[in-house]
Structure 1
């Protein structure tokens, strides 16, 4: 099986978020895909199969479980297809039958994602302590991704967070992850970090899927539809987001191929 590793949401190798991309040509089981994702041990591995013309199916697996939607692995998969074909637009269909349209725009790739709502939520003192947060501005929840969003006041405090992940896992058994975010006065409109020891690795370096609700959250607060987002993980990464009509979101970023090979299955 042709297999790649692609660093997404960056133009520099070994930055951004690495994703595995496996090109599926014969049917393989869910168990085999999960085993491959665990073997590659990246935050997500995408399994992509050509259906017809520029239509492809796509599924995402973390080392622990199947993930319904993943931005950086979609970007990585599009990068591979654009590098190996002459198409300028790709239509991915996810396991949940969500269609993701991606387009090549020079060195960047744009992806159309759905926009999700958030609802007011509460957070336990134990979870905040495990994250190393003493005070929050707001707490909301997105049901489609099963992620809790916490807004704090300082990007510098966000960058310095060093969660106790063993304690964090014990504070909640019903969510996929916690997204911590803050507004910014730099070249970016907002910063974020995503912690998901419940369903993946401890921290996801750069997370496109969280922007399905994060972009609208900040759009309403900042009164903007087009914004720049920075993810303040150790690897760092950035993307452009824009809310458009029909409750859709454009996520735009770059990607770098760092590995090409064959997986023996």
Structure 2
């Protein structure tokens, strides 16, 4: 089976968020996919399988668990398929419904994802203490907590206590603030130590929440988000009702063949 590493949400190698992409040639057990993802050690590895007469099956695994939605590994999967000759609109059957992608002439890949609005919520014990911040606003979405802080420098300088944060019952925590420079509207970082991802370099699914959150505050549906991880990355967002378009570039780093057969 073909196996790839792709840097997503970047047009330069060794930036953005690396994802594994495994092109399955037959159905395989969940335990095997989890073992491959643990071996790859990326924040997510995508497993895609062609299906007769329907969308391709797409699933995502961190090194520790399966997740219900992943943006950067979907972008990586679409990038691989387009590079192998696919064209036009691609459809994927996932745990979050049917997701689609399209590629523009400049190589920009646009994904159609469900929007998720964060509702204001009390911070659970350990959340703010582990982040070491004073929040402007705290909310919870379907998967994660959202914490807005005062400024972009606070986001940049975060050094959370990841062990303590891993005890908070959530997939992850996004910390965000308005951007302090031209070229981006808001900034963020994402931490998911409870699911085996201490800090995710660029998190597409988080922008399903950040897009409606900042669109409401800034009064615009089309925005640019910058994730301030060490690798960094850019996510272009367009809110369309209960859906959000996430767009970015991707770069293949390596490809090969998996020599250990599936069970």
TM-score under structure 2 length normalisation: 0.94
Q: 1:155 aligns with which of 152, 155, 179?
A: 152
Deviations 1:61-99 (A, max 9, x none): 000100000000000000000000242220011034x11
Match of 1:224 in 2: 220
Determine the structure 2 residue equivalent to 1:207. 203
Q: How does 1:180-191 map to 2 (within 5 A)?
A: 180-186=175-181, 187-191=183-187
Contact 2:201-2:230 at 8 Å conserved across structures: yes
Q: Distance in 2 between matches of 1:99 and 1:112?
A: 9
Look up the SS of the partner of 1:51 in the other structure.
coil
Q: Secondary structure at the match of 2:188?
A: strand
Secondary structure of the equivalent of 1:198?
A: helix
Cα distance in 2 for residues equivalent to 1:240 and 1:54: 28
Instruction: Give the 3 Å change call, closer, same or farther, for CA 125–66 of structure 1 in structure 2.
Output: closer
Alpha-carbon shift at residue 259 of structure 1 (Å): 0.9
Q: Give the CA deviation at 1:35.
A: 0.5
Q: How much does 1:54 deviate? A: 8.0
Q: Which runs of 5+ in 1 are unaligned?
A: none
Question: SS where residue 264 of structure 1 aligns?
Answer: coil
Matches of residues 116-265 of structure 1 in structure 2 within 5 Å?
A: 116-124=116-124, 126-133=126-133, 135-143=134-142, 145=143, 147-170=144-167, 172=168, 174-186=169-181, 187-245=183-241, 247-265=242-260
CA-to-aligned-CA distance 1:18-73 (integer Å, 9 cap, x gap): 00000011121000000000010100000001124783110000001000000000
* Aligned twin of 2:56: 56
**Structure 2: which 5+ runs fail to align?**
none
Query: How many residues get paired?
Result: 258
Q: Is the 8 A contact 1:24 1:47 kept in 2?
A: yes
SS class of match (1:192): strand
Shift of 1:202: 0.4
> How many angstroms apart in 1 are the aligned matches of 2:30 and 2:21?
15
Q: How far does residue 200 in structure 1 lie from its aligned partner after superposition?
A: 2.5
TM-score (structure 1 length as normaliser): 0.94
Contact 1:54 1:90 in 2 (8 A): no
Deviation for aligned residue 1:244 = 1.5
- 1:153 is paired with a residue whose SS is coil
Range with bigger deviation, 114-123 or 64-73: 114-123
Quote the residue 1:76 is aligned against.
Answer: 76
* Range moving further from structure 2, 87-96 or 8-17: 87-96
